[in-house]
Amino acid sequence: MLERLWLIPALPLIGVLGNMFFGSRMSRRAVGWLGCGVVFVSFVLSGWAVAELARLPEEARLAVTEVGAWMPFATLGENSPLDVRWSFALDPLSALMILVVTGVGFLIHVYSLGYMAHEEGFARFFVYLNLFMTMMLTLVLAGNLLVMFVGWEGVGLCSYLLIGFFYDRPFDERTGMSCADAGRKAFVVNRIGDYAFLLGMLYLAATFGTLEFSEIGEAVAASGDATHALLVGVGLLLFFGACGKSAQIPLYVWLPDAMAGPTPVSALIHAATMVTAGVYMVCRMSALYSAAPEAMGVVATVGALTALFAATMGVTATDIKKVLAYSTVSQLGYMFAAAGVGAYAAAMFHLTTHAFFKALLFLGAGAVIHAMGGVQDVRRMGALRNKLPTTHATFVVAALAIAGVVPFAGFFSKDEILWGAWSAGERLLWGVLLVAAALTAFYIFRLVSLVFWGRWRGSAGAWEHAHEAPPAMVWPLVVLAVLSAVGGWIHIPEVLSFGRDWAWLHHWLAPVFAGGGHGEVAAAGTSASAAEELGLMALALGVAMAGILTAVAIYRREDLPARLAERCGLLYRAVRNLYWVDELYDAVIVRPFYRASRFCGAFDRWVVDGTVNAAGIAADLAGQAIKFFQTGYVRNYALLFLLGVVLILGYLASL
């Protein structure tokens, strides 16, 4: 399987083509089978490939498949060929990712069978979803930055298509935004990041003459101090690209609006997989970032700030999916913070557990929305645990996981990040992340309280209508709930493992990262005491419990939340209006940009188009004129022929 890695991204493409061309003639059942089946086969192949990889000795765990050359004649200036190949690479890092992507992806495909069953465009939905899988797997398995960029852009396209899937429906009454607008917003914001990504890639190619991941590490190591500034620049540019894709400050604004897409899409693309691409990319480029500590500092700072900032917005949101969207932004911030302090393995660990529990939260939210007949406002829900027992149980598991309660998945990965920050000496960063952790626990249990507990606040008719989801939707919930509960056990820190070595994930990922990816602590040996680590762990757990209990206490009381909001006044309004960031962007960037566009448009219409049209008309007239040489008389043709001969021979004779 390691020789045929391209099969893994290619398989979903079969689903794309099949459903695109024949989807309209096939039954929904067949469409669904095809759409889910190809992803399942892809998952099996991924497992097979990873199993083969695991059998190799640790230092040899890198399989590269080259499908062919890509633009072999491209050059970068004088005598510097840029040999980019269509290469796919499997190493422990991408192995982890393909398992997450195909595994969680498959579950969400199955879930979609139920969720989309009554929607128009069933086949179209699976075409997009399969195309997304192809692109995501291309991104993950890419052997060099350019192939990764293909996937990077591809998932962006799919994200756009899927956010605007219900393109004719309104999305946000406050801003008058339609689903199509939301898709456009996501696309445009992503483009800004992509531009930086592209620039970073070009600088990298121009400096080292290669884009292969396997060669960049050596090239960076071999380059001296002279390129240091450039490495920092490239690191920042690539990170800015990651900010777009992974919704970090200042480019996070698209993700909350991306919730216009169908809920399975939010779970798959905007929680579990695509938005983590930025984190994956930073980890993938760890060799470069480790050589550019300044860039890493920025990554860590932006990540931690985003984690905190987004968590506060999650506290006041009233749309069930938007709460989760802010939560995703916040958790991605965690991952970047981890990567920024060099704890790449912790970042990937959190990425994995987050994929489980956030997908579960979204799918649970989808089941709720399904039951509520499309209502997403938590103020009109309540007590749904009576109607949706399975959804409720799984949702609570996920909430415990994200809040970081032992022994659920999130506890281990979040603690790993906090410990990474602490042991790297970044006490301030650690503090910020801890506060964010408390807020996380608070807002997620606020959500649970409002939706599942307490008293029903909707209409009587809606209560009658509410029902548990069909089996196709429930089963993925159960599977993900199990994963959210035990997924953290793939890496149990030493202080909790009774002296045994249960840190499997770190051992698996160790060959990939510069310095093993444990952050500073591994390098420093056992300088940090076990007692210190245990104490911090207890503190994090205590903070999480405090957050949970506060949320439950406040939202048990009917009138308390409103009174608290009133008491906080300006702060509440600021958070409620998302700190007016959208308005700020609108005033500072969007409106001036429109004005500039209108000016350019006028210039283009009158000056540029005028010139071009004049040239076009001139060309047309010239054509009409020359046409008359084409008289149709052989004698004229022969004459012109002879004229040519005379000119050529005359020229030769004059030599």
Nearer to another protein, 603 or 641 (CB): 641
Backbone angles phi, psi at 140, to 5 degrees: -75, -40
CB of 640 to another protein, least distance (A): 5
Nearer to another protein, 226 or 634 (CB): 634
Nearer to another protein, 560 or 640 (CB): 640
Q: Where on the phi/psi map is residue 209: left (φ > 0), alpha (ψ -120 to 50), or beta?
A: left
Tokens 């704890």 locate to 343
CB of 17 to another protein, least distance (A): 14
CB of 602 to another protein, least distance (A): 24
- CB under 8 Å to 129, separation ≥6 — which residues? 35, 109, 112, 158, 162, 264, 265, 268
CB of 132 to another protein, least distance (A): 21
Nearer to another protein, 229 or 646 (CB): 646
CB of 167 to another protein, least distance (A): 22
Nearer to another protein, 527 or 630 (CB): 630
CB of 639 to another protein, least distance (A): 10
Nearer to another protein, 68 or 525 (CB): 68
CB of 75 to another protein, least distance (A): 9
Nearer to another protein, 460 or 625 (CB): 625
Nearer to another protein, 188 or 645 (CB): 645
- What's the distance, CA 343 to chain centroid? 20
CB of 85 to another protein, least distance (A): 10
60 burial type by CB count under 10 A (0-12 exposed, 13-18 middle, 19+ buried): exposed
Nearest to 448 by CA among 519, 497, 400, 505: 400
CB of 73 to another protein, least distance (A): 7
Nearest to 129 by CA among 16, 272, 14, 274: 16
Nearest to 411 by CA among 482, 451, 357, 340: 357
Helix (H) or strand (E) holding 186: helix 179-208
DSSP 89-143: EE-HHHHHHHHHHHHHHHHHHHHHHHHTTTSS-HHHHHHHHHHHHHHHHHHHHBS
How is residue 644 written in tokens? 């040519």
What is the binding site for another protein (CB under 8 A)? Answer: 68-70, 72-73, 616, 619-620, 622-624, 626-627, 629-630, 632, 634, 636-638, 640-641, 643-645, 648-649, 651-653, 655
CB of 165 to another protein, least distance (A): 25
Q: Where on the phi/psi map is residue 91: left (φ > 0), alpha (ψ -120 to 50), or beta?
A: beta
Q: What is the dihedral of CA 410, 414, 416, 422, to 10 degrees?
A: -160
Nearer to another protein, 78 or 566 (CB): 78
For residues 320 and 310, what is the distance between their CA atoms, to the nearest angstrom? Answer: 15
Nearer to another protein, 221 or 618 (CB): 618
- Say which DSSP state 81 is in: B
CB of 625 to another protein, least distance (A): 8
For residues 155 and 32, what is the distance between their CA atoms, to the nearest angstrom? Answer: 21
CA terminus-to-terminus distance, the chain: 66
Nearer to another protein, 498 or 633 (CB): 633
Nearest to 476 by CA among 317, 363, 624, 567: 363
551 burial type by CB count under 10 A (0-12 exposed, 13-18 middle, 19+ buried): buried
Alpha helices in 467-569 (DSSP H): 471-486, 504-509, 520-523, 530-556, 560-568
